[in-house]
Amino acid sequence: MKIMKKILAALAVGASLAFAAPPAWAHAFLDHASPAVGSTVPATPSVVTLWFTQDLELAFSTVTVSDKAGQRVDLGNAQVPPGQPAELQVGLKKLPRGTYTVQWHVVSVDTHTTDGHFTFDVGGR
Amino acid sequence: MNAADAFIVVARTLHFAACVSLTGVFAFECLVAGRTLRANDAEFGDGFGRRRRVSVLAWASLALALVSGAAWLAGVAAHMSGEPLGELKSSTIAIVLTETRVGKDWLVRLALALLLGACLIAWKRRAHWSAAIGWAAFGLSALLLVTLAWAGHGAADEGINGNIHLAADLLHLLAVGIWLGGLVPFALMMTAVQYVGDQGAVGIARTATRRFSAIAVTSVGVLLASGVVNTLYLSGNVPALLGTPYGQLLLLKIALFVAMLSVAAINRVRLTAHLDADSRAWQAIPQLRRNALIESAIGLGVLAIVGQLGILPPGLHTEPVWPLPFRIDPNALPTGDKILSAVLVVGFCACAVLVIVALAGRRKWLLGASVAGLIPCVAFAAPPLRRAIEPAYPTTYFASPVPYDAAAVVRGAAIYAQNCAVCHGADGRGNGSAAASLPTKPADLTKPHLFAHNVGDLYWWVGHGLGGVMPAFEARLTPTDRWNVIQFIRAHAAGVLAKSVGPEVTGAAAPQVLDFAFEIHGAQDTLSQTLQNGPVLLILYSRPVPDARLRQLAAEKRRLAAGGLTVIPVGPREIRNSSSREAKPPYVVGVSADVEKALALFRSAGDGGETEVMLDRNRNIRARWTASGPRSLAPPNVLIADAQRAARFAVAAPNHAGHGG
């Protein structure tokens, strides 16, 4: 019996060695955005929405939008919409034609931080 | 590792150790000591300082749990807010405690710890063992331990898989608490037995050892099973295991676990038997005690690794640096050989564990048998595995950080023309102007074999050269440019390969179309986003506009959509921009010049002005028709049937390295 148990244990050790691997880490990465990353939109969208791969902690998550000169053009009202814990939204001022940079820094519910940025154009290049 | 990380690692390690110890103490009291002593001599358990020592251990563990838990939370608050640890504001900690998930979890755990303290006080006031208090304390300490599952990545997953993963995490922690945490109380029991030193004490040692051994074996079984389930859910792989710091630490953890099992095997196979023989019992008891403490020390090492694993950068986001000059590619083997070598590898592991068991138990016949078992495993597995060996490079398992899209392919095409075409040829067939003078013919980059190589291999060859003939481009091309040119080579080869795809949907290896953005009805979309809704019929056309065909499909648009098929026709820009009648084909899809150029790779000169391809959800070309082909373009009902066939191909796992941002 003991030997059988040991054999089973041995098989399990072998299996765990074969399958053991680092976890798919739960950081919140940007999944997609609206306006889309690198896209061109005809007119000013009312909000920028970012969809992340993980639920966020609003208390420590920020998103800002700035123009080429580095001036903030968002309304500073970043929020995680109710019932959408993996989304981050911020309102925009009326924007003239140009390229805008969205900069985000988020903390996921498992306390990991990530950040990044992307641009979009208003009114064609 | 910086100081802030080191602080969190130490806090995590101590907190895990404290919670494991608390669970172990009460598990041992409830499952081993309480019953053993009732079965023998109830007074024994409280005598000779055992109860006092157990009590000190419990109080010390609880104090450590509180201090290390607070330190851990402070470290996490500093990390989340970006404030340095020394300048952490109390308002930040208040926000963490009240507004974040981790803070709320920590408040719950603080309440559990305080209740546990109340149990300890109640326990101290009683002269004798109380089962009610013991079980309450066991339950609270177990909750304190298993709620740590939420402190890690357990918080991340959702859905049924997340629940199974979480359940495995909970069981894993509970089993660690009962087994690893129970080792020190077990050693304290053996100390008391030695103090008493009479025949009755040997009886107690026997019973306690049997009982503890039984729950230890169960716990190890649970640890193995939950460990396997966890790792199955964690979607890692061998390269990540061998090539990332995270994976290497995990291997070290498994090695330490095997070392603990080896010591445990000595206890169970040899020393437990000695306890039954009166002549050897008094030698076995101190040895059991010593081994339990050795196991605890190794276990503390395992916990230190766990403490470290929790803060390491994401395993799948650091590209694995492959440490070996070769890799074993089981896909290169026929199925029979694949199964044979898998069975033999498992057999090898089984024999290796039996060798350890035989050594632990000093069983010569078992040692002989298991060593003899290793030989055929090696002898029969070696020949097929040798055939599966492929050369490998540090970058073999790198994923491209540059997406397989039109922008990359167009940039890559320019780089290819400047740097590669002179040898590999403008059409990629290895017939460039310099090719004739080379000792080895440059590789034909249009062969399906190209796709048998990992992109990481191609990346290495572009950077470092190959076989002393191909030069290294590391100094001339930036990493991004190297990836761009690889994406172009892939698109080009896929385009060549696409020409052999017929009008029937089959499971044969299918070339992949690059991703591209387009505009429809003033809104932006991408091919990959569209494919999330189901298969796509991609139509690539030039002048004259295949007006009748586009009108036919436009008229059936609703039926096609109901059948799960989206049609994306891409034509020349000047048609969309001109104002003639021709300017209004029924579908108007706008694409950039880059997209037009890149998609041209997927047409052939003699397609009669139009190529149609059926894409499965992985962007693979499953069927292809041309206006000039022997079987002309498919009618809508055939397209719907084909779309349903194409929809059956499972969606490939997302490529984590491809994430934007």
| pLDDT surpasses 60 at A97 | yes
Domain enclosing residue A110, as ranges: 26-122
Based on DSSP, count helices (H) and strands (E) in chain B, helices before strands. Answer: 24, 9
Residues 59-118 of A with CB under 8 A from B: 59-60, 104, 107-111, 113-114, 116-118
Residue A36 lies in a domain: yes
| Percent of chain B clearing pLDDT 70 (strictly above) | 90
In angstroms, the first-to-last Cα distance of chain B is 25
A19 found inside a domain: no
Chain segment B137-157, per-residue pLDDT in tens: 999 999 999 998 876 555 455
Top pLDDT among B501 and B240 is at B501
Nearest to A16 among B151, B152, B231 (CB): B231
Beta strands in B503-584 (DSSP E): 517-520, 523-526, 536-541, 566-570
- CB B155 to CB A109 under 8 A? yes
Question: In this predicted structure, what is the pLDDT of residue A1?
Answer: 43
In a domain? residue A102: yes
- B660 to A60: CB separation less than 8 angstroms, yes or no: no
pLDDT of residue B420: 93
Tens of pLDDT, residue by residue over A10-50, are 444 444 433 333 333 456 788 888 888 878 888 888 899 99
Q: Report the alpha-carbon distance of residue B13 to residue B473 in Å, rounded.
A: 46
A2 and chain B: CB distance < 8 Å anywhere? yes
pLDDT in tens, B348-401: 888 888 887 788 777 888 889 988 888 888 888 888 888 888 888 999 988 888
pLDDT for residue B42 is more than 70? no
Distance CA B590, CA B599 (A): 13
Least-confidence region, from B208-222, B553-567, B582-596, B633-647: B582-596
Asked if A35 lies within 8 A of B76 by C-beta distance, the reply is: no
List the structure tokens of B442: 């440059």
List all residues 6 or more positions away from B204 whose beta carbon is below 8 Å from its beta carbon: B36, B37, B40, B41, B44, B189, B193
Chain B residues within an 8 Å CB radius of A6: 265, 353-354, 357
What does the pLDDT read at residue B87?
86
**CB spacing of A25 vs B314 below 8 angstroms:** yes
Q: What is the model's pLDDT at position A7?
A: 46
B34/B132 Cα distance (integer angstroms)? 11
The residue-averaged pLDDT of B266-274 equals 84
In sign, the C-alpha dihedral spanning B495, B496, B501, B507 is: negative
Mean pLDDT of chain B: 85
Nearest CA in chain B to A42: B522
Give the pLDDT confidence score for residue B39 in this predicted structure: 57
Is A15 inside a domain boundary? no
- Number of A to B CB contacts under 8 A, please give it: 168
Q: Please check whether residue A35 lies inside any domain of the structure.
A: yes
Per the domain annotation, does A89 fall within a domain? yes
pLDDT tens for each residue of B81-126: 888 888 888 899 999 999 888 898 899 999 999 999 999 999 888 7
Burial tier of B127 (Cβ tally within 10 Å: 0-12, 13-18, 19+): exposed
Q: State the pLDDT at residue B40.
A: 56
The answer to whether A24 contacts B235, with C-beta atoms less than 8 Å apart, is yes
Nearest CA in chain A to B342: A18
Across B444-557, the runs of DSSP E, i.e. the strands, are 517-520, 523-526, 536-541
Domain with residue A110: its CATH number is 2.60.40.1220
Number of domains in chain A: 1
Mean pLDDT for the stretch of residues B547-555: 87
Decide if pLDDT at B46 tops 80: no
Decide if B79 and A59 are in contact by the 8 Å CB cutoff: no
Chain B residue nearest residue A34, CA to CA: B524
Residue A56 vs residue B520, higher pLDDT: A56
- State the smallest CA–CA distance between residue B522 and chain A in angstroms: 8
Rounded Cα distance, B169 and B146, in Å: 8
Cis bond upstream, residue B503 (ω within 30): no
The reported pLDDT for the residue numbered B653 is 64
In a domain, A44, yes or no: yes
User: What chain B residue is nearest to A60 in terms of C-alpha separation?
Assistant: B81
Burial of B321 (0-12, 13-18, 19+ CB in 10 A): middle
Tell me the shortest Cα–Cα distance from B659 to chain A, in angstroms: 7
Residues of B in contact with A39 (CB under 8 A): 517, 524
**Residue B417: is its pLDDT beyond 90?**
yes
Strand A113-122 vs strand A40-41: parallel, antiparallel, or unpaired?
parallel
- The Cα–Cα gap between B535 and A68 comes to 39
Q: Is residue A95 part of a domain?
A: yes
- A-contacting residues in B 163-222 (Cβ below 8 Å): 217, 220-221
pLDDT at A124: 56
Cβ neighbours of residue B45 closer than 8 Å, sequence gap 6 or more: B33, B34, B36, B37, B51, B129, B192
Using one digit for the tens of pLDDT, what is the confidence trace for B454-502?
Answer: 899 999 999 999 888 899 999 999 999 999 999 999 999 999 999 888 8
pLDDT level of residue A4 (50, 70, 90 thresholds): very low
